[in-house]
Structure 1
Amino acid sequence: MTEPLLDVQGVRKEFDGVPVLRDVSFSAQSGTVTVVIGPSGSGKTTLLRTLNALDVADGGTIRIDDVSADFGSTVDKRVLKSFRAQSGMVFQSHNLFPHKTVLQNIVEGPVVVQKRPADEAAKDARVLLDQVGLADKADSYPFQLSGGQQQRVGIARALALQPELMLFDEPTSALDPELVGEVLVVMKNLAAEGWTMVVVTHEIKFAQQVADQVLFIDNGVVLESGTPAEVLAEPKQERTQQFLKRILDPL
């Protein structure tokens, strides 16, 4: 087996002295989908943010492709910048610039951060909009879009940076139920195209259909990991069983 694109070893993170991640370790091969599940407050979002260096880990090592850092020592700001360049983040809320059009939102990163020519970035952005089913919305403003459409623009914006790794932080949690499907379809298509993805979600059906591996996190610890069949259909840990029962059969 080839070396994994993403390798996480012993990652720790505290906030105000309270441990949020406790020696989290996992790896992901290029072109695979890792789904992270767990109760609220278990550290799922913090894990994603450490992978993107939005939150700098307090310990452990992270490698994305050829960029690696040992967070047990001081990490150079240039390394953190490289980490951010390797991954694209899609947030729970869309975080689009309200005063910019859809096209302007997407080209902002490539032009400002990556210094790419504006005409080239705009051309690529239109291809991405077509990919997420919004080719006709390039000149629209965020307030003119539904929540699902805004989230699809958020996905296109992350893709525009051409990252090695796509990170999704509960991308459907803020959407009305009838809009969830349109975002999940785009994510399934990305998985089929071979994007490497780490997805925090409560959408268990999506995990069953798309994930190559599932991590169950509770209290900052990866309690169980494996294929969807192993973790979702036949979980070994009692805590995993309790969580899935509440998700799948809440009444």
Structure 2
Amino acid sequence: MTDYRVRAENVRKAFGDHEVLKGVSFSVEKGSVTTIIGPSGSGKTTLLRALNALDVPDAGVIRVGDVEIDFGKPVSKDALRRYRAQSGFVFQGHNLFPHKTVLENVTLGPIVAQHRPRAEAEAEALELLDKVGLTDRRDHYPFQLSGGQQQRVGIARALALRPKVVLFDEPTSALDPELVGEVLSVIRDLAVEGWTLVIVTHEIQFARQVSDQVLFTDNGVILEQGPPAAVIGNPTHERTRRFLDRILNPL
């Protein structure tokens, strides 16, 4: 039996009169990498945020890890809390606490939200900082770090929650070009280690290299989904072909 870490069925979300997600369905297998690509305004970030209820869907059923919610019915705060605890979120703009050190940023969630002992949380945080190459920055503050280093702290912070799936919202879009590689390298390592990842990205070649599944979204729907060799290498929709041609052949 396939172990799905994410299953979404007919997910809908509107902001005012603008329907951003128009009945989206997909699934993510344990230990796999799913990338979501598409033009700006296509709904890809809203879809990712729905998986953590940062944007609570208006309708649809989503299962993340061990928790399933029917968003077409009233949802309790406790159910939302358990749902959000299934995933870790890496934001586009780092979102670190500026007045806390690197180590404090990584341990805050496990200590405050999960009530884990400080010594245990700090020991695990140091292991994660080693994984992302930042052990020597443990006592630094965010303003003392480069953008790439801040994003790697954000990744360690998400992993510290021991999530069933890690969600990345365009993790390199706010970085200077020379810093992109260090963040993508960390994400590649996580993929090799078997973490379940869902990544919104505009890095098409990266998506081609690391993905087990690619979703192409446009105008609130998934137009195309499948392995990268199909969606990126041989897309069937004209809209997908035009998007990829513009990205891969900009001149």
- TM-score band (shorter)? over 0.9
Aligned ranges 1:1-251 → 2 under 5 Å: 1-251=1-251
Kept after mapping to 1: 8 A contact 2:213/2:226: yes
Residues of 2 paired with 1:66 and 1:25: CA distance?
Answer: 18
CA displacement at 1:7 relative to structure 2 = 0.4
Q: Match of 1:234, SS?
A: coil
Q: d(CA) in 1 for partners of 2:233 and 2:103?
A: 42
> Could you list the runs of 5+ residues in structure 1 that have no partner in the other structure?
none
For residues 241 and 77 of structure 1, the distance between their equivalents in structure 2, rounded to whole angstroms, comes to: 42
Give the RMSD, CA atoms, in angstroms.
0.7
Identity %: 66
Letter in 1 for 2:207: A
Please state how far the C-alpha of 1:116 moved relative to its aligned partner: 0.7
Letter aligned with residue 250 of structure 2: P
- For 1:65 and 1:119, the matched residues in 2 are separated by 27
Equivalent position SS for 1:5: strand
Q: CA deviation at 1:250?
A: 1.2
Give the partner amino acid of 1:180. Answer: V
Deviations 1:139-181 (A, max 9, x none): 0111111000000000000000000010000000000000000
Q: What is the distance in 2 between the residues matched to 1:98 and 1:28?
A: 34
Residue 75 of structure 1 and its aligned partner are, at CA, apart by: 1.3
Which runs of at least 4 in structure 1 moved beyond 2 Å after TM superposition?
Answer: none
Q: Shift of the alpha carbon at 1:65?
A: 2.4
One-letter identity of the residue aligned with 2:122 = A
The one-letter code sitting in structure 2 at the alignment partner of 1:226 is: G
Aligned length: 251
Secondary structure of 2:199's counterpart equals strand
Counterpart code for 1:150: Q
**2:65·2:165 contact (CA, 8 Å) conserved in 1?**
no
Please give the alpha-carbon distance, in whole angstroms, between the structure 1 residues aligned to 2:5 and 2:106: 25
User: How far off is 1:3 after superposition?
Assistant: 3.4
SS of corresponding position for 1:240? helix
1:191 partner SS? helix
Deviation of residue 205 (structure 1)? Answer: 1.1
- Residue 119 of structure 1 aligns to a residue whose secondary structure is helix
Matching residue's letter, 2:5: L
